[in-house]
Amino acid sequence: MTMTQTAKQESAFRSFARSNTAIGALFMLPAAVFLLCFLTYPLGLGVWLGFTDAKIGRDGVFIGLENYEALAGDSVFWMAVSNTVFYTLFASILKFILGLWLALILNENLPFKSFFRAIILLPWVVPTVLSALAFWWIYDAQFSIISWSLIQLGWIDTPINFLGEPNNARASVIAANVWRGIPFVAISLLAGLQTIPQSLHEAASLDGATPWQRFRFITLPMLTPIIAVVMTFSVLFTFTDFQLIYVLTKGGPVNATHLMATLSFQRGIPGGQLGEGAAIAVAMIPFLLASILFSFFGLQRRKWQQGGQD
Amino acid sequence: MTINRRHLLGASAGLVAAAGLNRFGLTPAFAQSAPAYKPEEGATLRLLRWVPFVPAEEAAWLANTKKFTDATGVQVRIDKESWEDVRPKAAVAANVGSGPDMVMSWFDDPQQYPDKLVDVTELGEYLGSAHGGWYPGLEGYAKRDGKFIALPLCAIGNAVVYRDSHMKAAGFSEFPKDTAGFLELCKALHAKGTPAGFPHGKAVGDGNNYAHWLLWSHGGKMVDESGKVVINSPETLASVKYAQELYKTFIPGTESWQDVNNNRAFLAGQVSLTANGVSVYYAAIKDPAMKAIADDMRSVNLPIGPVGQSVELHQTSTISIFKHTKYPEAAKAYLQFMYQADNMNAWITGASAYCCQPLKEFAANPVWTSNPIHAAYAKASETLRPNGYAGPLGTASAGVMADYVLVDMYATAVTGQMSPEDAIAQAEKRANRYYTL
């Protein structure tokens, strides 16, 4: 190797090292490693496990789509899918309506405004398992405080079977989820509301707009990007909910409240059928992707928001 | 009778002195046939166990362990996991080949990774011959192809608990022995407004105990000896129809019950009859406000069905040694020590009727006669039938139970969501998924 070649190589390396590309790549390396190790690898492994007959304590062999074929003919799985969709749909709609309503109230000039804003976050702050345990008592078949109060009032004779009757159980778990999820929606939307310039409302008022018109034509359009983000997160949290169901019903009565996440756990970990559990978890991905795409297209409306062309 | 830690430690210390242990602390009853395990130099052991249900049981286990350490110098670290987490942790340890040296696990766990466990046939056969033999049901969980892959540790007994005064008020002077009489009793209790209640929800322990009793007492079984699913049978249908009749007499809401609901309802006086471990009795005597309930409480084995003998699932625990342990001799010496008559008796006493002995000799333990409420729990090891009867134990039997196949079958039928025939057909399909994998 001659001197000139070495020098040439060195200068090429140096110029690359000095370039922004190299620095940029270097700075991104930790994040990339982190994502690869803790996101891509587990996700990839989960997808792979779904194609194997792995059991806890035993490596599986590739079995193609057999897990999915078995699930396709499994009424419990389809019940879990419809429960999950139903649960997510109703809980998200309720959380959105109630959360928006709460945000609008908190945006008004109330006495002790900061106190109320802080206290509203409590259901979100309390660990899910704790609030789920509280709801478990509230919904208890024998000791429910709701049933007790209604019996004392003389409105009903026997306790309400909150978690024993399939539709009651579904409504009960949705109510608990809504209670827990409202603060997230409300506080996020409140932040969005505060970015709406007061002058717009004032101008509209001068033009004689009613409160409903101001909400419909100023607040709602200005809030759309925030709503898109908040509701995407809300849908994702709800769709993947686990703790609440696991404490309240473990998926009962007779699988009426089993979500895909709880069924995946039940079959995968205590049941030891890792492959099938993974397949159920993988089956959640299309739904989650759909909601992320929804958010992506929701966010695109920002251009129009900022006066650009749609 | 209550046993606190202080009493127990005192008693154990006395036993040590009385036993006159040799340097290794190993003085078995039949010295000539007893295997002698010499712990490896510098050995230490780790045992993974379930979180104890009765504090005095853990105290006794730790006291025995300390005696072992004092006698041999082998340190034993004991890690606790909640009982539902032992299964995945142990399976991962077996697969990865590191972690605890021994595990106290549940039901068919050892059968899921038999080749990862140390063969303890020599010790198992010796202990069986020295202490009156193992109970067959428990032995089945610990043996594979004629070899011991674990040592049976105990059965957590399940029995009917009921309010004596309520039964008498319902017109029964003594508890019915058969399923037909039992149904009449439940009907009478219901009519008096003091109903029975058994969990039809996702109750891992109590729900499975009840469902398996329903099935087996009527002669049904999940699989035959070869592992072929035979749940769809006239016997199963009879058991489902019986469960429907029984369910009509229950307090409303049992389909949402998990493991603690029946205890809670019983202790609050809401139900007058349910089945549970002896823990419900200890919860009652601990609280002075529940004295009336504790005094009125009686226990009895679940009634005998058309099959003509008492058969129940109960919870079972075994203890096994992983092949990856560096100190297999020390581990065997530890197990041998823990199963010595004095030590085992101290442990069974400490568990105050919660843990039923694996070896017939220990049926003579005074704990079973110290309180009439204990008597029903004394027979747990005797009436026990392994999960997935009559087929082989393994991942399929474990999976079927963990997926609540049997519990769901009864729950769908009694709540009227499906006809008995459809519920059985669905259970058959779900079980086949596990047994044909």
Confidence of residue A270 (pLDDT cuts 50, 70, 90): confident
| B23 pLDDT more than 60 | no
- Confidence class for position A59, pLDDT limits 50, 70, 90: confident
pLDDT confidence band for A297 (50 / 70 / 90): confident
Contact residues on chain B for A267, CB-CB shorter than 8 A: 399, 402-403
Confidence of residue A301 (pLDDT cuts 50, 70, 90): low
> Which structure tokens are listed for B252?
């409303």
Question: How many angstroms separate the CA atoms of A278 and A70, rounded?
Answer: 13
Residue B179, pLDDT > 80, answer: yes
Chain A residues interacting with chain B (CB cutoff of 8 angstroms): 53, 55-59, 70, 74-76, 139-143, 158-159, 161-166, 169, 249-255, 266-267, 269-273
Strand partners, B18: none
Residue B155, C-beta contacts closer than 8 angstroms, at least 6 positions apart: B135, B137, B138, B314, B315, B316, B317, B355, B356, B358, B380, B381, B384
Of B255, B404, B426, the CB nearest to A164: B255
- The answer to whether residue B8 scores a pLDDT higher than 50 is no
Nearest residue of chain B to residue A159 (CA atoms): B252
Question: What one-letter code names the amino acid at A258?
Answer: H
Q: Give chain B's contact residues with A (Cβ, < 8 Å).
A: 84, 87-88, 91-92, 94-95, 112-113, 116, 200-202, 204, 251-258, 261, 264-265, 268, 270, 395, 398-399, 402-404, 408, 411-412, 415, 417, 426, 430, 433-434, 437
Q: What is the DSSP letter of A73?
A: T
Cβ contact A270–B88 (<8 Å): yes
Say yes or no for a CB contact (<8 Å) between B398 and A250.
no
B251: which chain A residues are within 8 Å (Cβ-Cβ)?
141-142
ipTM > 0.95, yes or no: no
Higher pLDDT, B17 or B395: B395
Per-residue model confidence as pLDDT tens digits over B282-315: 999 989 999 999 999 999 999 999 999 999 999 9
Q: In this predicted structure, what is the pLDDT of residue A300?
A: 56
CA proximity to B252, closest of A157, A149, A83, A257 = A157
Inspect the interface and report whether the beta carbons of B91 and A57 lie closer than 8 Å: yes
Q: CB of B163 within 8 A of CB of B317?
A: no
The shortest CB-CB distance from B113 to any of A57, A266, A267 is to A57
In chain A, what residues touch B258 (CB-CB under 8 Å)? 250
| Token pair 């306790």 in the structure block, residue | A159
pTM, entire model? 0.84
Q: What is the pLDDT of residue A6?
A: 57
Inter-chain touch B255–A271, beta carbons under 8 Å:
no
- Alpha-carbon gap, residue A141 to B254, rounded angstroms: 8
At residue A299 the predicted structure's pLDDT band, cuts being 50, 70 and 90, is low
Indicate whether B80 pLDDT > 80: yes
Residue type, A260: M
Q: What is the dihedral of CA B164, B166, B169, B170, to 10 degrees?
A: -110
Q: Which of B95, B265, B415 sits opposite A57 (nearest CB)?
A: B95
Cβ pair A193, A104 in contact under 8 A: yes
Q: Report residue B13's pLDDT band, with 50, 70 and 90 as the boundaries.
A: very low
Nearest to B270 among A70, A74, A142 (CB): A142
- From B117's Cα to the closest Cα of chain A, the distance in A is 12
Domain residue spans of chain A: 35-305
Q: Rg of the Cα trace of chain B?
A: 22
Quote the percentage of chain B above a pLDDT of 90.
81
**Does the distance separating the beta carbons of A75 and B411 come in below 8 Å?**
no
Where does the pLDDT of residue A225 fall: very low under 50, low under 70, confident under 90, or very high at 90 and above?
Answer: confident
The rounded distance, in Å, linking the Cα atoms of B139 and B358 is 8
Please report, for residues A152, B214, B221, B354, B427, the alpha-carbon distance to residue B237 in angstroms, rounded to integers and kept in the order given.
42, 11, 11, 33, 12
**pLDDT at res. A307:** 52
Task: Give pLDDT, residue B295.
Answer: 94
- The pLDDT confidence band at residue B29, using thresholds 50, 70 and 90, is very low
Smallest Cβ–Cβ distance between B402 and the set A58, A70, A270 belongs to: A270
Cβ of B253 within 8 Å of Cβ of A159? The answer is yes
H helix count then E strand count, chain A: 18, 0
Q: With CB atoms and an 8 Å threshold, state whether B252 touches A163.
A: no
CB contact under 8 A, B256 and A162: yes
pLDDT recorded at residue B25: 43
A9 pLDDT band (50/70/90 cuts)?
A: low
d(CA A223, CA A68): 41
Q: How far apart are CA B398 and CA B174, in angstroms?
A: 37
Regarding predicted confidence, which is higher, A25 or B159? Answer: B159
Q: B251 and A140 in contact by Cβ < 8 A?
A: no
The answer to whether the CB atoms of A141 and B261 lie below 8 A apart is yes
Helix (H, G, I), strand (E, B) or coil at A1: coil
Contact present, A260 and A244 (Cβ < 8 Å): no
What is the model's pLDDT at position B119?
A: 96
Residue B278 has what DSSP assignment?
Answer: T
Confidence of residue B191 (pLDDT cuts 50, 70, 90): very high
Q: Hey, of B254, B255, B428, which one would you mutate to test binding to chain A, going by the most A CBs within 10 A of its CB?
A: B255
Q: B189 vs chain A: nearest CA distance in angstroms?
A: 17
Instruction: Inform me whether the pLDDT recorded for B24 exceeds 50.
Output: no
Domains and CATH numbers, chain B: 5-156+314-382 (3.40.190.10), 159-313+403-435 (3.40.190.10)
Mean pLDDT of B87-106: 90
Could you count the other beta carbons within 10 Å of the beta carbon of residue B121? 13
- Which two tokens mark A242? 């686990």
> Mind giving me the DSSP string for B322-340?
BTT-S-HHHHHHHHHHHTS
Query: Measured between beta carbons, which residues in chain B are less than 8 angstroms from residue A55?
Result: 112, 395
CA distance B102 to B127: 18
B381-416 burial, b if ≥16 CB within 10 A, otherwise e? bbbbbbbbbebbbbbbbbbbbbbbbbbbbbbbbbbe
Question: pLDDT tier at B322 (50, 70, 90 boundaries)?
Answer: very high
Q: What is the pLDDT of residue B11?
A: 44
Chain A: give the shortest CA distance to residue B220, in Å.
21
**Nearest Cα to Cα of residue B342 among B52, B22, B2, B27:** B27
- Residue A304 is predicted with a pLDDT of 53
Name the token pair of A128.
Answer: 């899910």
Does A164 sit within 8 Å of B201, measured CB to CB? yes
Which residue of A254, A263, A269 to mutate against B (max B Cβ within 10 Å)?
A254
Q: How much of chain B, in percent, has pLDDT values that exceed 70?
A: 92
Strand-pairing partners, residue B54, are none
The CATH number of the domain covering residues in A35-305? 1.10.3720.10
For residue B16, pLDDT beyond 90? no
Distance between CA atoms of residues B130 and B125, nearest Å: 8
Work out the average pLDDT over A120-147: 89
